[in-house]
Homo-oligomer: A and B are copies of this chain.
C-alpha cells in the first residue's frame, strides 16, 4: 500500500511486533484477574459476569465507509488506527471489532484485522480459528438442523412441512458446491429426502442472535424464538417447539464470552462476533461493545460494508436493541474509491484524475447526509494512498471546506496511531457536543413504511415495491404479529440502489423487495433485494495455495 520499496506483508509486520502478555493488557484496561480466561499467551476471554459493578457508559464512535469498491477503503485499518491515535492522546479507549470468518481467508487474500501498522494481533491466530467462537456457532446451527431432520424422521409430531423448512446448515468455508444440495438420500434408514443448502457460518441467524443477545437468559430466549419453518397448515414452527434452545445455548456457553487481544500499539481490542452485513446486521456483538463501554471512556467500533448498509443497521438495529446512542460516526473514503464512483475503471486507478474524483464525491456526500439524518455529525477519514496526488486530495479537502464537512487526512497503514491524530482530535471535538441521535424509523410503523424510510432517507431513492412473494410473506407476518420488528435490508453493498453496477449517487430509483424473511430470534425482518450470496465460492487460485507452516509450526503465506 503506502510503502514504496518491497513493503513488508501484514503478517510480517505482525510477526515482528512485540506483543504484551494479554494479562498486562487486561490489567491496564481494568479487567479483574478473576474475569480473565487465557487462550494462549496473547488471547483471552472475558467473563463479563465478573464486571457487574462497572457501568457501560463510554461514548461510542462508529467507523463506516462510502460504498465499497474493488479499490479498497481500509475501514478496519482506520478503525484500529483511530483507536491507537486516541490512545496516543491519552484517552481511555477500547476498540471493538468483528471476528474474521475463516472461509474467505482460504479464498482471497485479505484479512479482517486491519493492515500495515494499524493491526490487531496475533493476526494469524485471529484470522484462523481464534478462540473457536465461529466453530461453536457452526456446531449449534448444525445441531439444530440435525435435530429438525431427526424430528421428521422419527414421526414428525410437529407436522413440519419438509418443503417449507427455513433453517439451513452452515460451514465456515467458501464452498459453492454446498449452496444447493439434496439430503436424506439412501432409503428409509437415512432420513427424509429434501432440498437443502449450506450458508457460510456468518450468515446463520445464530450468529446474528449471538451478536445481539445481552446475556445468557436473553440468548436462550432468542434461540427459542427462531422460526425454523412451517407446518403443512402454514403455521410457524419455532425452536422452542422442539425444546432444544437449552442445548443450543449450552453449545455457545464459552463462545459467548468476548475475546480480548491488542493492537500493535497495545490498545485493548475486543473482537467478538461477526454477522453478515447483508442478510444480518454486520456489527460485532453487543457483549463486546458493552464490555468495551464498561472498561473505556471511548469505544471505537465498525460496521460492515458502506454507511447505507452497516451504519444504518448499527443505528436502527444494534443501538436500539442494546439501548445506547452512538456519539460520533467516521466515514472512511479514499481518492481511489471516489475515482471509481466517478466512473473510472479499476485498471485506470493509477492515473491522476481529479475530475473523476469531483464526480465521485456525490457518493460521499450522500453518506454524510445519511449520518446527519440520524442526528449525528460525521467526520470523513480520507485514507491516504501513496499514489494519490495532492491535486486529487485537494478536490476532496476543498469539497469538505465548501460544504462544512470535517475531513481528516489519515495515514495509519504506514504510521499507526501517529497517522490518525488529526482524525482522533476531530472525533474528540464531536464527542464534546450534545448527543442528538435518533433512529430513522419508528418500530410501530408498518413494514412498508419502515422500508420506505430507509430507501428515501438512507439510499436517496424514490420508493420501494414489494414483489408478489414478498406481499404474501408480509400478509403472514402481519397475521403472526411480527410487524413491529426492525428491518434488516439485504442489498448489494456496491451501490446505493439494488443494482451493483450503479455507482456514485443514483437518484429517482425504486428498490424491489423480493422476499421478507422473519428472523424472530435476531428480532428483525430481512428484506431481500437483488441476488444475495450467502455462501461464497473459491477463486481460480485460492489463497490456500500460498498458505503453509514452517517446521516450528509458524504460519507462512497468510496475507
Contacts and interface: CB of A to CB of B under 8 A. Distances in A.
A356 to B, nearest CB: 32
B216 A192 contact: no
Contacts of A136: 129
A398 to B, nearest CB: 44
A541 to B, nearest CB: 9
Nearest to A175: B146
Interface string A42-55: 00010001000000
Interface residues of A, number: 80
A172 interface: yes
Tell which of A146, A255, A557 has the most Cβ of chain B within 10 Å.
A146
A217 interface: yes
Main secondary structure of the interface of A (DSSP, over half): mixed
Tell which of A132, A150, A177 has the most Cβ of chain B within 10 Å.
A177
Contacts of A180: 184-186, 190
Given A128-B250, A549-B216, A537 B150 contact: yes
A254 B216 contact: no
A346 interface: no
Contacts of A191: 176-177, 179, 537
A553 B135 CA distance: 18
A154 B551 CA distance: 32
Interface in A359-412: none
Interface string A128-169: 110110011011001101110110011000000000000001
A192 B537 CA distance: 13
A219 to B, nearest CB: 9
Contact of A177 (B37, B149, B246, B247): B149
Nearest to A245: B548
7 contacts: A38-B40, A106-B247, A150-B176, A180-B184, A181-B185, A246-B549, A250-B555
Interface of A: 37-41, 45, 49, 102, 106, 125, 128-129, 131-132, 135-136, 138-139, 142-143, 145-147, 149-150, 153-154, 169, 171-186, 189-192, 215-217, 220, 243-244, 246-247, 249-251, 253-256, 537-538, 540, 542, 544-545, 547-553, 555-558
